[in-house]
Amino acid sequence: MIEFTDLKIEEGQPVYLQISRYLKRQIASGLIRDGDELPSRRVLSALLGINPNTVQKAFRLLEDEGLVSSNMGAKSLIRVTEEKKNALKREIIEENIGYMTQSVKQMGLSLDEAKALLEKYWGASL
C-alpha cells in the first residue's frame, strides 16, 4: 500500500496535479513499483484533508496515461514497465533542470555560481 507520507498539499497549483505529479515522481524514482496498491479514493482524501472527487480526478489522469489500473470494487493498482519508468524519469529531470537553468541564467549567474548554490541547497533539502 502506497503511503503518501511525504506529500504535502500546497497552494498555487491544482491539487489533482500535485497528487499525479507526486505519484509520477515516486514511480520514476522506483519507490513505487508495478503492482503496488493505491489507497482508496475515500481513504486518501481523508488522509490529505481534501475531497474524494479531487483524488478521483488525479487517479483518472494517471489511468488515462496508463500508469494506474482501476477495477470496480477492487483497489487501484500501479501499472508501470521499465520503459515507462525510464521515460518518466527523463521527462521529469529535463523539465526541472531545464526550467531552473533558464531561470537562474536569466538572473545573471555564472555556471560556477549555479553549481555552488546547487551544492548549498543539496545539503539543506531533506
Partner DNA sequence: AAAACTGTACTAATGATATAATACAGTTGC
Partner DNA sequence: GCAACTGTATTATATCATTAGTACAGTTTT
Binding site for DNA (CB under 7 A): 13-17, 38-43, 50-54, 56-57, 59-60, 63, 70-76
Q: How far is the CB of 109 from a second copy (least distance, A)?
A: 7
Backbone CA torsion sign across 95, 100, 105, 107: positive
Kindly tell me which residue out of 30, 35, 42, 46 binds a second copy, with binding defined by CB under 8 A: 30
Cell of 13: 497549483
Name the pairing type of β-strands 77-78 and 68-69: antiparallel
**How many angstroms separate the CA atoms of 42 and 58, rounded?**
13
Nearer to a second copy, 17 or 46 (CB): 17
Q: Footprint of a second copy on residues 70-99 (CB under 8 A)?
A: 89, 92-94, 96-99
Angle ∠(38,89,59) on CA atoms, nearest 5: 25
| Footprint on this chain of a second copy (rule: CB under 8 A) | 13, 25-26, 28-30, 89, 92-94, 96-109, 111, 114-115, 117-119, 121-122, 124-126
